[in-house]
Structure 1
């Protein structure tokens, strides 16, 4: 009998070992396996260069072993992957393309260089970061040579004098792309768009309170920049919220379309309506109805009778 028990348990143990070995990896473990810093790993996921799978436990995305093998098989791994997520600030970026820091900043404010990350330094100043390979590609394009040397074209100088700064808006566009890539549900896609709008804007577009409540369930968690309510957190919230009228307009239009698509796929849940039965009309005792009718008829005839007759 003991031999039968061992025979039955061995396949189960093997299956458990195989399942554990093939289970998707958590982000921290996947970063170590790929030889990346956690910040490099997170940015690679942000850019869609590392694909994640939904976590059934409700946590962040996990990395399958198939994805690990795909990345390892790529040419130049891991150096090429690490280089693709290398970021530079204003000083290093300016040195990379051999321009002054002020010119580099002007190019970024005009939207010609798009930031991929930002953080707040100890003075609560916003520090924008750019992908090094994108900066190099911009400098290597001959069409951009007049922007790197000589006088800035008049039209662009006018925009700078008016205070244009497209860095926050361009970052938001890039961030929205990341949120949409991670969304595996139509309501999550709608919530991604809504996350860049003020609450009053969302309420004006999504008027149904049950749909707004359902949308809130899928609201993505914003990156933390200080304790809630702190000046740093408030500044970060401003960066993460659409400000330009035309940007707000197209986000509202996208939100309306996304909610309509989500509603068609799966309407937002609503509380079940309680059906209260209509109480029955009181029944008159037997014979009362006929007697009351005769009495009302008699009184009516007496009332109509001519008192002079």
Structure 2
């Protein structure tokens, strides 16, 4: 709120502060100290501050942004828009805080539940819930690894309530033949559905063609990416733009091994879809701008890296020099 607008019409500074405090109570103005004139809010704020202003935990905020409940914009740095960085406009925060039921309604829209709580919400057994999820009727929105490195799928409570209202026939009695006919009873489509959902969320947030190509290619294994992107500079550029599909701790070999099957496309139809999408997005990206390359006049210096193989090679070469004995002069 602009204080000049108040004082310019004969109102006192105390009146202005009181008015802003009233708007703060309604969720549309920042906190101010008693007796002081508040500063004009910034046009945009970082994601961390936006989460605090909206009384959301980090995970809740990230999920709300992914689902489109919170509109984010691409951040600018030095006059250049950086696709990997995002921020929130202050007017978006004001819009959300002025909504009825804030912040409880917003929190409920991003509340997630596991299998047990989800089954209770649908009034069915956990076994039936898992069977519906494995068959693709319930799509997880995220997952995490528990202390035993087992995958725990999470679902939106709001979506489960909608499913219960629209698919009541699947919640009781025998499963319809269409659910079981022609399907492998052990097939689990939860990872595939989660990947598709996650890729869709990330593509919705991005407008940069190279970043969109990196998002799509992130679920293909390195061999397939090398086949589709033979240029090493383009592959390196896509690697720098590649997003983190899953959040959480994966700092151990066991955790990475448990997560790897969840992050890579494994079904033939899924692989074909992402390969075709990556090829189309690469054509679009190349038309927009080329991938960055080193200066043609810049010499390539061997041995300047700090990788393990480079260090071992240099150590071996130094060892040869130290042990070399010159032949006696004839």
State the TM-score, normalizing by the size of structure 2. 0.72
- Give the match for residue 276 of structure 2: 253
Matches within 5 A, 1:264-279: 264-273=287-296
1:78 to 93, 103, 113: 103
Q: Which has the higher helix share?
A: 1
- Give the match for residue 109 of structure 1: 134
Aligned equivalents of 1:160 and 1:93: distance in 2? 24
- Give the match for residue 50 of structure 2: 30
- Give the match for residue 64 of structure 1: 89
1:173-213 per-position Cα deviation (integer Å, ceiling 9, x unaligned): 11101211232311000000011111111111112222222
Residue 237 and residue 22 in structure 1: after superposition, are their counterparts in 2 closer, same or farther (change >3 A)? same
1:83-125 per-position Cα deviation (integer Å, ceiling 9, x unaligned): 1101111111111111110000000001001100101111111
Unaligned runs of 5+ in 2: 1-37, 298-330
Aligned equivalents of 1:124 and 1:160: distance in 2? 28
Runs of 4+ in 1 over 6 A off after TM superposition: none
| Bigger Rg, which one | 1
SS, match of residue 62 in structure 1 = strand
- Give the match for residue 92 of structure 1: 117
Aligned equivalents of 2:63 and 2:244: distance in 1? 16
State whether structure 2 residue 51 is matched by structure 1 residue 43.
no
1:120 to 135, 145, 161: 145
Instruction: Give 1:162 deviation, angstroms.
Output: 3.5
Q: How many residues align?
A: 255
Aligned equivalents of 1:84 and 1:160: distance in 2? 33
Instruction: Give 1:18 deviation, angstroms.
Output: 6.3
Aligned equivalents of 1:193 and 1:25: distance in 2? 28
Instruction: Give 1:248 deviation, angstroms.
Output: 0.5
Q: Which has the higher strand share?
A: 2
- Give the match for residue 155 of structure 2: 130
Unaligned runs of 5+ in 1: 1-16, 275-309
